[in-house]
Every structure is written in C-alpha cells, then in structure tokens.
Amino acid sequence: MKRKVIAGSDHGGYALKAALVARLREDGWDVEDVGVETERSVDYPTYAFEVAKRIVADPNALGLLICGTGLGMSVAANKVPGIRATVCSEPYSSTMARRHNDANVLCMGGRVVGPELGWSTLSAFLETEFEGGRHQRRLDLIAAAECGSLP
C-alpha cells in the first residue's frame, strides 16, 4: 500500500528533495511538498517542524526531510512529540528504522547521498512495515519519556 509522503528540505537538501519528489510522483505516490523551492538559504527547523506537525496530524503518512547532512532536520523533527525521525544514508538502516523503530520520518543529507542512493534508501523506508512485538514495548517506553515519565 502506498502511503502519503510529506516532504520538506532546506537549501542544502533542495536538489535531492526535488529529484526524490519527482520520482515518487512518477511512481504514483501521493506527495505533499512543503518546500523549499529554491537553494536560497533558509532556517531548516521551520521545514522540519512543518513536516513533523503534518505527520502527527496524519499518522498514516510518512515524512521525508533533507538538509545538508540530515542531522539538523532529525534533531528538529524529533522535538515534536510523536515523531520518530532517523537519519539514514543507505537502505539497510532505513529498513531497520521502519521495522524496529517504526520511524515515521526519514532524514537524509543532500550533501551526503546522491539521487540513486537517496532513492534506494527512501524506497526501502517506504516499503518496510513496523514489526511490532517486542519493538512496540520499546516504543512505548520512548513515548512515556516524551510525556516526562522516564523509566
């Protein structure tokens, strides 16, 4: 089942985001692109928060955030309760992020991966389902910590 993808980037991730969004649309994915539309310098948290808020509002959607390294986007997005954003630069990590961590936002670096590696990493993320089981127990601990209840 193809889920909705909500994508955003800063100037450092614009080119990779544009390439991946175009490819997603060619493959029939429903994509909501919240920006940016140029390589003009912007503040990445603005776009990380926008994608994160939309993912929380639509739990069936998955997010894609791209900056220069993916790190800043991940840090910012993870400040939003309910977001599990992970930086991945290859398909194995993105598969495991979905399978074991139920990651709902994939962050990548436009200065780290090219379009083909970015596509294979994103495809693995989108095609993998959460396993649940023992992994759900661990996510419940993380969710409790978000609410201030550290174990």
Calculate mean pLDDT across residues 105-126.
98
Say how far apart CA 63 and CA 76 lie, in whole Å.
13
| DSSP labels, 73-119 | HHHHHTTSTT--EEE-SSHHHHHHHHHHH---EEEEETTT--HHHHH
Give the integer Cα–Cα distance in Å for 13 and 27. 21
Mean pLDDT computed over 100-125: 98
The yes-or-no verdict on residue 57 having pLDDT over 90 is yes
Tell me what pLDDT residue 99 has: 98
| Pair type for strands 5-9 and 62-67 | parallel
Residue 33 scores a pLDDT above 80: yes
pTM for the model? 0.96
Whether the per-residue pLDDT at 121 is higher than 80: the answer is yes
Domains of the chain with CATH codes: 5-146 (3.40.1400.10)
Active-site residues, by number, are: 67, 100
C-alpha span between 35 and 23 (Å, rounded): 16
| Residues 95, 80, 45, 64, CA torsion sign | positive
Q: Indicate whether 125 pLDDT > 90.
A: yes
Mean pLDDT in the chain? 96
Mean pLDDT value of segment 14-43: 97
